[in-house]
Amino acid sequence: PGTIRGEIQFEHMYFWYEDELPVIKDLNLTIQHGETIALVGSTGGGKTTIVNLLCRFYEPKRGRILIGGHDYTDLSLQAIQSRIGVVLQTPHLFSGTIRENIAYGRLKASQQDIEAAAKLVGADHFIQRFEHGYDEQVGEGGVLLSVGQKQLISLARAVLSNPEIFIMDEATSSVDTLTESMIQKGMEAIMQDRTSIIIAHRLSTIKTAHRILVIEDGQIAEMGNHAELLKLKGKYYNLYTR
Ligand code: DUT
Ligand code: MG
């Protein structure tokens, strides 16, 4: 009892960076297992900070975060990060092959598993077109790939790690429409039956989220689904009907 796979709770969470100006102010939120949450809102509101705290790149200054019913400071950093699959806005790849970047240290991952993950997210399509396919070198930090392609590889990596929690900071720029629709399909595949937090810029992602949170000034300014928030004619309405 009390242990719910993939459930996330923020309890009276406060956070500030070195300058000590409050960035997150008394955040209270329970995200149910399997739920998809979209974080939206204007720049500097605190969306990335919330995700950084959940991954424990930083820890709350006050209040706490529970994962699966446990205060996450009682869990090891490795345990937390193995439960979370994260795709960053500018994904980090290391120099090596596409295969190695998807496997990401999972030495037991078979070629079949790697390709199945890539197929599920729609990355297989562009990988097959490279001369060396999965053995193509991505270059230092992945310089030989576009941002969208890097996100697709990160999505495949996330699928392969089979996390309870999936987090994505959608790329805002330089993704062509084909890659964008691939990313969208890949995300939908991962989000099935997983707790997901998406920092969302695309209306297609936002509209299908169970709950949308408008984050402003470190607080939840509005919360609801797409239809509810449109009806409210508030901040969300202003953000997405211009
Ligand atoms: N901030 C810092 N130091 C950092 C990162 C952020 O002082 O290392 C500040 C900037 C901003 C606030 O914290 O005032 C929240 O930033 P965050 O990056 O969390 O905002 P966002 O909602 O993710 O903004 P964007 O939509 O531009 O990504
Ligand atoms: Mg951000």
Expressed in angstroms and rounded, the spacing between residue 223 Cα and the centre of ligand 2 is 19
The CATH number assigned to the domain holding 68 equals 3.40.50.300
The bound ligand whose nearest atom lies closest to the alpha carbon of 52 is 1
Question: 197 in a domain, yes or no?
Answer: yes
Question: 2 in a domain, yes or no?
Answer: no
Give the position, in ligand 1's atom list, of the atom nearest the Cα of 51: 19
Question: 226 in a domain, yes or no?
Answer: yes
pLDDT, one tens digit per residue, over 86-95 is 998 888 899 9
**Cα gap 50→4, rounded to integer Å:** 21
The bound ligand whose nearest atom lies closest to the alpha carbon of 239 is 1
User: pLDDT tier at 70 (50, 70, 90 boundaries)?
Assistant: very high
**Cα gap 6→26, rounded to integer Å:** 22
62-67 vs 8-16, strand pairing mode: antiparallel
Question: 230 in a domain, yes or no?
Answer: yes
Q: What is the pLDDT of residue 8?
A: 97
Give the position, in ligand 1's atom list, of the atom nearest the Cα of 89: 28
Q: How many domains does the chain have?
A: 1
Check if 218 has its Cβ closer than 6 Å to any atom of ligand 1: no
Q: What is the pLDDT of residue 1?
A: 45
Q: Smallest Cα–Cα separation from 163: which of 45, 55, 24, 19?
A: 55
**Cα gap 52→80, rounded to integer Å:** 12
User: pLDDT tier at 180 (50, 70, 90 boundaries)?
Assistant: confident
Give the position, in ligand 1's atom list, of the atom nearest the Cα of 52: 19
Average of pLDDT values for 91-108?
92
Positive or negative, the Cα torsion across 51, 45, 17, 63? negative
Amino acid present at 180: E
Q: What is the pLDDT of residue 173?
A: 67
Expressed in angstroms and rounded, the spacing between residue 229 Cα and the centre of ligand 2 is 22
Q: Alpha-carbon dihedral of residues 175, 180, 182, 185, nearest 10 degrees? A: 150
Expressed in angstroms and rounded, the spacing between residue 48 Cα and the centre of ligand 1 is 6
Expressed in angstroms and rounded, the spacing between residue 31 Cα and the centre of ligand 1 is 22
Whether 221 shows a pLDDT value over 90: the answer reads yes
Expressed as residue numbers, the domain containing 153 is 8-240
pLDDT, one tens digit per residue, over 10-24 is 999 999 999 999 999
Q: Smallest Cα–Cα separation from 59: which of 21, 92, 10?
A: 10
Complex prediction ipTM:
0.99
